[in-house]
Amino acid sequence: MGDSNIRYADIIIDISHEALDKVFQYRVPLSLWEEVQPGSRVFVPFGRGNRETEGYVIAIRQEADYEESKIKEILRVNTEGISVESELIQVASFLKEKYGSTMIQALRTVLPVKTKMKPKEEVFITLSMEKDTAQQLLCEWERKHFTARARFLSTLLKKERMRKEEAVKACNFPLKELRKLSEQGIIKLESRIKYRNPFPELVTRKQGWPLNDEQRAIVDNFKEEYRKGERRTYLLYGITGSGKTEVYLSLIKEVLAAGRQVIVLIPEISLTYQTVRRFYERFGERIAVINSRMSKGEKSDACERIRAGEADVIIGARSALFAPTERLGLIVIDEEHDGAYKSDTSPKYHARETAIYRAKLCGASVVLGSATPSVEAYAHALNGEYQLWTLKKRAGNAILPNTQIVDLREEFKKGNRSIFSEELHKKITECLERKEQIMLFLNRRGFAGFVSCRACGQVIKCPHCDVTLTYHRNGKLRCHYCGHEEVFTKQCPICKSPHVAAFGLGTEKVEAALHQEFPAARVLRMDMDTTKRKHAHEEMLAAFAAGRADILLGTQMIVKGHDYANVTLVGILAADLSLHEQDFRSGEKTFQLLCQAAGRAGRGEKAGNVIIQTYSPEHYAIVAAARHSYENFFKEEYTYRKLMAYPPCAHMLVILIQSGDESQSIIAMLRIEKIIEQSQSGEMDPIQILNPGQASLSKLKDVYRQVLYLKHKEEERLLDLKRRLEPVLEKHPMFAGISIQFDFDPLSHY
Ligand code: ADP
Ligand code: ZN
Ligand code: ZN
């Protein structure tokens, strides 16, 4: 057992993914206890010669893994300011503590990939003699019929500078000869490290718009505070098209002028050429882009440029948050509410909270932006934790579209069994006649089969919980919160109509219906199936923007960030699809999707129309979206969260238990439940354990999944429980071979 008077530090010598397999333990001398923390840079005796070597502390422990007498002691702490590596290790430590993972997993998440690949070098050839002399040499070589040399030299004379590959390939001049000429002092070979830039095209620089009054006030407020050295988190709430991006660009300019770097996070799906181009136009070459489609080499290059201080604006998806910036001054998170900001692998961190943590470490500000802020962020803005900025008008001349809700139950009564309501059908026809474009949106997330009555709209729910039952292939309906099960009958328990059916409507089905009803219309279907190819997504959007289709039909991937001036109609085919997922956030997700989809209409000079088809026209998320009223939505949603003690009004911790052996996974789950119960017996205000059981996705790739949902008002109580649980789970033999993952304040249902 550990001695409370002794402390050890886990240390890595090199900052790279490979180094994580080589963790060394050292004793922390008493005099350094306070200074030595995760992230500290320390000097240690290393190797057989005990050479003094610098290393990074990644964890502090009470117990040693090795024989005590073999453990050496830390010499001293490097106090030369903290490096970006120290900062990232501290962030990793935060991820481990808050979201639950091993320190190694957390470090793998934050540390940059270093590829073993050598940096690509580019060799340039120039003349190392006067042009006249070279000309004479050329004549001589021609006379002597040195054809290869002559061919090469005449090209070089014309071009003045050429790349090595050009000489070898295009001039068919061997490398060996090049070296000879260089030794003879005829040419000079100069090598430069070549950084791969994913956007090689040159973009013309552009000035921004003169800001409007609302934008100006926000930018001024930021500048004033930034110059005074005040750092904080701001929430920029502005309806779609209100000019948020223009505001970010101005804020970034201010921070760059102060000599600091900026990280801009954008959801991966909107990380398109269109968006990135706007940044290129403003900031030119000092941009680095990081996205998931880049090769390891490209990522490693980007990180090298950032570390070398050659890139000041880093744009990327979630993981760009860990860019190795030495002078970070601002983090912008666009579309802050987006689900993509939560990692789906361990540590399951949220980029918003992690950004705020990193910003505190290095004295940066954070700007969150959204047209539909997450309930968490808006609640924080209302209680003053974040500063709230609002943009109420659309920038330029565009006005908000006219939005109409269509009750699909009424359509059914009228005998209309088509996917399109009368109103939508009429509007599509008119729009096609005017040669304007249409976007039809199908939220297929809900495809997973909730069951509803097509006559009265009733969704079949669990008698014990406020969640919908899910249709299973074995013909039963099941509640994943309490395990309640019932036989699926086609008869509606409320209106007794025989039209109860599992809801399922695919884009292909809609496409076929469009061809039938509007045979002349050119339809582009965009979903997982049609966008598998590498650039398919962008190509289709470009084709639509160029007017090569009349109707763009798709899933949520069509609602993000694109501006089409000629789109005047947006149709949402079944707004309910996302409403009845088994998830306390389904109202929020529906509201966000509807607002974003609606925001696509009327972005240009022409007025827009939005039609929302739904079986629940009275649902607050749908009503609020139709009125473009985030405030109304928030009020209802917050009341509900408070009533049910869901985040942000309380906190949740999910424990996911996975095993290839079903009974083992169940036994482990019951055991953990017992441990938790025992640990808080007699407690006045215990952590609530919501009905433990199978996950909705109960088996994945032959692995069985059990979940425990824990709930408590205070975050610290849950974190403390996790902290006490982790060592038990690690050491107890009954949990060997079982994967146990934590998810703090989950965004999705298990
Ligand atoms: P958001 O990010 O809020 O959706 P954008 O910044 O993309 O908004 O702006 C929406 C549109 O309005 C863009 O076409 C943009 O060029 C234009 N715009 C933004 N600010 C102004 C302004 N001050 N004056 C005129 N047009 C503007
Ligand atoms: Zn019914
Ligand atoms: Zn239930």
pLDDT tens column, 273-286? 777 888 888 888 78
pLDDT at 320 over 90: yes
Residues 512 and 657 in one domain: no
Least confident residue range of 566-580, 621-635, 706-720:
566-580
In terms of domains, do 689 and 724 share one? yes
CATH code for the domain in which residue 217 is found: 3.40.50.300
Nearest of 611, 420, 424, 412 to residue 501 by alpha carbon: 412
Residues 106 and 36 in one domain: yes
Q: Does any domain span residue 477?
A: no
Report the 10 Å Cβ neighbour count for 254. 17
* pLDDT above 50 (res 183): yes
Mean pLDDT of the chain: 85
Dump pLDDT digits (tens) for 429-466: 999 999 999 999 886 543 445 688 878 888 887 777 66
Residue 431 assigned ligand-binding role? no
What Cα–Cα distance (Å) separates residue 635 from each residue in 380, 630, 632?
14, 9, 5
Confidence of residue 175 (pLDDT cuts 50, 70, 90): confident
Range from 150-154, 271-275, 566-570 carrying the lowest mean pLDDT: 271-275
Residue 471 lies in a domain: no
Q: Say if 230 falls within a structural domain.
A: yes
Long-range contacts (CB closer than 8 Å, 24 or more residues apart) made by 473-478: 477/451
What is the CA(263)–ligand 3 centre distance, in A?
A: 43
Which of 327, 362, 391 finishes a domain?
A: 391
Provide the pLDDT confidence category of residue 480 given band limits of 50, 70 and 90. low
In this predicted structure, the answer to whether residue 228 has a pLDDT above a threshold of 80 is yes
Residue located nearest, by CA, to atom 19 of ligand 1: 243
Same domain, 600 and 667: no
pLDDT tens-digit profile of 324-345? 999 999 999 999 999 899 998 8
pLDDT band at 506 (very low <50, low <70, confident <90, very high): low
Instruction: Give DSSP secondary structure letters for 190-259.
Output: EEEEPPP-S--S-------PPP-HHHHHHHHHHHHHHHTT---EEEEEE-TTSSHHHHHHHHHHHHHHTT
Q: Determine contact, residues 661/704, Cβ cutoff 8 Å.
A: yes
Q: 465 among the known binding-site residues? A: yes
Band of residue 2 on the pLDDT scale cut at 50, 70, 90: very low
pLDDT-wise least confident of 88-102, 320-334, 548-562, 709-723: 548-562
**Tens digits of residue pLDDT in 573-631:** 988 777 766 678 889 999 998 888 888 887 767 778 999 999 899 999 999 999 989 99
pLDDT band at 487 (very low <50, low <70, confident <90, very high): confident
Residues 637 and 686 in one domain: no
424, 518: one domain: yes
Q: Is 362 annotated as a binding residue?
A: no
Which ligand gives the minimal distance to the CA of 452?
2
Among the listed ranges 175-184, 202-211, 417-426, which one has the minimum average pLDDT value? 202-211
Are 600 and 570 within 8 A, CB to CB?
yes
Closest CA to 311 of 286, 284, 334, 274: 286
Atom of ligand 1 nearest to the CA of 242: 3
473 has pLDDT over 80 = no
Percent of the chain with pLDDT over 70: 89
Q: Which residue has the tokens 């096609």?
A: 432
| CA dihedral angle for residue 408, residue 609, residue 567, residue 618, rounded to 10 degrees | -40
Q: Are residues 690 and 613 in the same domain?
A: no
Measured in angstroms, how far is the CA atom of residue 401 from the centroid of ligand 1? Answer: 16
473 is a domain residue = no
Residue 453 domain flag? no
pLDDT band at 195 (very low <50, low <70, confident <90, very high): low
Q: What is the mean pLDDT of residues 18-32?
A: 84
Are residues 358 and 267 part of one domain? yes
Does residue 537 carry a pLDDT above 80? no
Q: Report whether 356 contacts 201 (CB < 8 A).
A: no
Q: Which atom of ligand 1 is nearest the CA belonging to 215?
A: 23
E strand or H helix at 25 = strand 24-27
Residue nearest to atom 25 of ligand 1 (CA): 396
Ligand 1: list residues with CB < 6 Å: 209, 211-212, 215, 238, 240-246, 395-396, 563
Alpha-carbon gap, residue 218 to 252, rounded angstroms: 13
Q: How many CB atoms lie within 10 A of CB 681?
A: 7
Residue 719 inside a domain? The answer is yes
Last residue of one domain, picked from the residues 50, 80, 110: 110
pLDDT digits (tens, 9 = 90+) for 276-316: 888 888 888 788 888 777 777 778 888 888 888 889 999 99
Distance 245 CA to ligand 1 centre (A): 7
Q: In a 3-state reduction of DSSP, which class is residue 492?
A: coil
Percent of the chain residues past pLDDT 90, beyond the cut: 40
Domain assignment present for 576:
yes
Atom of ligand 1 nearest to the CA of 245: 6
Same domain, 187 and 124: yes
Ligand 2 geometric centre to CA of 616 (Å): 13
Quick one: pLDDT band at residue 205, thresholds 50, 70, 90? low
Last residue of a domain, one of 346, 365, 391: 391
Q: What integer pLDDT is reported at residue 562 of this predicted model?
A: 64
- Written as six digits, the tokens of 70 are 């073999």
Residue 332 lies in a domain: yes
Q: Are residues 92 and 126 in the same domain?
A: no
Tens-place pLDDT, residues 108-136: 899 876 655 555 667 788 888 888 888 99
Helix or strand (DSSP H, E) at 525: strand 523-526
pLDDT of residue 120: 60
Structural contact between residues 556 and 445, judged by C-beta atoms closer than 8 angstroms: yes
391 CA: nearest ligand 1 atom: 3
- Check whether 667 has a pLDDT greater than 70: yes
Q: Which domain holds residue 530?
A: 402-444+505-642
Residues 124 and 233 in one domain: no
Cβ pair 305, 311 in contact under 8 A: yes
Q: How far is CA 164 from the centre of its chain?
A: 40
Q: What is the predicted pLDDT for the residue at 560?
A: 67
In the chain, how many domains are there?
5
Q: Is pLDDT above 90 for 716? A: yes
What pLDDT, on the 0 to 100 scale, is given for residue 493? 81
The rounded Å distance from CA 483 to ligand 3 centre is 6
The residue whose two tokens read 């009974």 is 663
Longest dimension (CA), the chain: 103
Q: Where does the pLDDT of residue 94 fall: very low under 50, low under 70, confident under 90, or very high at 90 and above?
A: very high
| Rounded Cα gap, residues 386 and 378, in angstroms | 8
Q: What is the mean pLDDT of residues 23-49?
A: 89
- Does 482 carry a binding-site annotation? yes
Tell me: pLDDT of 14 over 60: yes
Are 610 and 675 in the same domain? no
